Structure formats: structure tokens, C-alpha cells
Amino acid sequence: MTVSFFILAALTIAGTVAAMSLRNLVHCILALTLGFAGLAALYLQLGAQFVGFTQILVYVGAVAILAMFAIMMTQRAGAVAQPASSSSRTRGWITGGMTAGAVFAVLAWAIHASAALPQTLPPQALPSQPDAGVRAIGNALMHGFVLPLEIMGLLLTAALIGAVLVAMQEKQEMP
Amino acid sequence: MSSLTSYLLVSALLFSIGLAGALTRRNAILVLIGIELMLNAANLNFLAFWRYGPNPAALTGVMFAIFSISIAAAEAAVGLGIILAAHRHFKTTDVNQMNALKG
């Protein structure tokens, strides 16, 4: 429980809240990259270096840029969302916010009431920094997790072909 | 409050933010981003339980997180492809106006 954890958690939460609430879509994606970077720093603080850098590569580098491209291709530059009728809009925000708040309340209650979690962990009971270097991860991937790795390669290939097929320009119909 | 509890609380908050975004935003791309945030909350849970669990040397949580990130990347690519195809057809990305399955 350190100061850096609170700073990183606040950064992540602020970035994601801004990403979900700003009006300008480009600003949303920029705030989202901030949230993803904060999350990667949280992973690094947990001792998972490989996952942290993978998060930066995949989310900050690929997913956010992909979403930015999609927004640039579907919107006029700098456009903000068209305001719908304000009463239905407010009703939507209230309903969605209340649902999310209820889900968070249940989750927080479950975390605090759970008997399985150690509520007060003495400092010396913390497990020592486990070896999660790239060498250990590579050994695990090549020994115990070979089959999931192969299935993941198949899934990524199928997703690549599928995404290209779905987004491809439809052929002109013959008259 | 132990460290594990605070990580789980951050993760629950992240999940709720993603859920609120997916429920309230009207742009289909931002709905997809909300789903990505929920997946990221699950990843944070995997890593927190791995780090504070009884057997961190097994690397199971790290493997789960890596595979989950891969699946999320594939899902984002296919989802954005579908949104682009739907935008070409409906000329909008507002989920309230995409209300017909038949073109």
C-alpha cells in the first residue's frame, strides 16, 4: 500500500472516466490512452513486467490507434456527438449510471465481506517478488501452455481474415 | 485494508466505468471501448490474485492475462471492422439509429 499505487489508480480512474464522459470523440480516445498507460503501470507495480509492456504495446499502441482510425473514418474531424432529445438523454444517463453504480456497490460489498480474502495481511506475509521474467514466461508458454498458445495463434489468424472480410468493400451488384 | 483488497476495488471501479460507458454512450465505437475497459478490469483481477495468491511461482495469472489481452485485441479488430461495415450501410455510428437487421 504505497503512495504510487494511489497516484496510478487515480490516474487510471480519471483517464477512463474522462474517456467515457467527454463529448469530443478524439478527446475520448486520448483520455483512454492515459487510462491504459496508468493500468500498465499498475501491472508493472504488481510485478508483471511482461504483461505491463504487452499492455502498452497492444492497448496504447494498437487498440487506441485502431479506434482513432475508426473514429476518423466515420466522423467529420472535430465533430461532437449530435445532441438527442435532452429528456431521453438524461434518462439514459441516469439509468446507465444507476445500473453501473449498483454493480459497483455489489462488487465492493462482496470484496469487503468475503471471508476468502485476507483482510489484514501482515507485511511479512506478503509473498516475495515472484520470478515473472520473460525467460520464465517463455518456458511456461513452451511447456505447460503450448496448446492454448497454438489455439491463440489460430484465433488471431481467424480474426485477421474475418476483420478484413467484414470490413471489405461490398462488390457492386450485377444489374 | 490489504493491498489485494484495494486492487480489487480499483478493478471493480474500472468495470463499473466500462459498464456505464457501454450502457450510456450512443457511439458504437465508444460502446466497444467500454467493453474493452471491462476486459481490462478482469485482467487487473487476474494479476492481483496471482501476485497475492498462495502460489505466485506457477505464473497462471500471468498466462491468463496474456491470453485475455490477445483475445481482447482480436475482439477489438473484428468489432471495429463490423462497425465500419455497419457505418457504410447505415451512414451513422449511432447505435440508436442502427435498428434494422435487414439491409
Q: What is the mean pLDDT of chain B?
A: 88
Closest CA to A138 of A66, A50, A67: A50
C-alpha cell read off for B67: 491470453
Tell me if A28 sits within 8 A of A15, measured CB to CB. Answer: no
Alpha-carbon distance values, A12 to B22, B33, B39, B98, B99 (Å):
18, 15, 14, 32, 34
Contacts of A39 in chain B (CB under 8 A): 14, 40, 44
Q: Among A63, A70, A164, whose Cβ lies nearest the Cβ of B36?
A: A63
Cβ separation of A100 and B26 shorter than 8 Å?
no
Are A126 and B72 within 8 A, CB to CB? no
Quick one: closest CA in B to A125, which residue?
B52
Domain count, chain B: 1
Does residue B80 sit within a domain? yes
Cβ of B78 within 8 Å of Cβ of A163? The answer is yes
Query: Which candidate, A16, A132, A95, places its Cα nearest to that of B41?
Result: A16
A21-33 pLDDT, tens per residue?
888 889 999 999 9
Provide the percentage of residues in chain A whose pLDDT is more than 70. 82
Nine cell digits for residue B85: 461495415
The answer to whether residue B37 scores a pLDDT higher than 60 is: yes
CATH of domain A1-78: 1.20.120.1200
The answer to whether residue B26 is domain-embedded is: yes
> Which pLDDT value is given to residue B93?
81
Give the structural domain span for B33. 3-90
In angstroms, the Cα distances linking B78 to A12, A80, B85 are 26, 25, 11
Residue B99 within a domain:
no
d(CA A169, CA A172): 9
Per-residue pLDDT band at A88 (split at 50, 70, 90) = confident
Please give the interface size between A and B, counted as residue pairs whose CB atoms are below 8 Å apart.
228
A22: nearest Cα among A82, A87, A80, A91: A80
Report if residue B97 sits inside a domain. no
Crossing angle between the packed helical segments A3-21 and A25-45, to the nearest 10 degrees:
160
Q: Where are the domains positioned within chain A?
A: 1-78, 133-169
Please indicate, yes or no, if residue B9 is contained in any of the structural domains: yes
| Domain-located, residue B79 | yes
Q: What is the DSSP secondary structure assignment for residue B54, as one 8-state letter?
A: S
CATH of the domain at B59: 1.10.287.3510
In this structure, the number of other CB atoms found within 10 A of the CB of residue A3 comes to 7
Express each pLDDT in A111-132 by its tens digit. 888 776 665 554 445 556 667 7
Q: What is the ipTM of this complex?
A: 0.90
The answer to whether the CB atoms of A67 and B94 lie below 8 A apart is no
- Cα torsion angle, A104, A108, A113, A116, sign: positive
- pLDDT for A81 equals 55
Confidence of residue B94 (pLDDT cuts 50, 70, 90): confident
- Asked whether B49 and B69 are in contact (CB, 8 A), the reply is no
Average pLDDT taken over every residue of chain A = 84
* Interface residue of B4, B7, B9, B24 to substitute, partner A, most A CBs within 10 Å: B24
Q: How far is A149 from chain B (nearest CA, A)?
A: 8
Q: What are phi and psi of B75, to 5 degrees?
A: -65, -40
Is the pLDDT at A147 greater than 90? The verdict is: yes
Confidence tier at A87 by pLDDT (50, 70, 90): confident
User: pLDDT (tens digit, 9 = 90+) per residue, A12-69?
Assistant: 999 999 999 888 889 999 999 999 999 999 999 988 889 999 999 999 999 999 999 9
Name chain A contacts of B54, Cβ cutoff 8 Å.
127
Q: What is the per-residue pLDDT for A118? A: 62
Structural domain contains residue B95: no
CA terminus-to-terminus distance, chain A: 69
Residue-level pLDDT at B36? 94
Q: Using an 8 Å Cβ cutoff, are B3 and A127 in contact?
A: no
CA distance A3 to chain B (A): 12
10 Å CB burial of residue A27 (0-12, 13-18, 19+) is middle
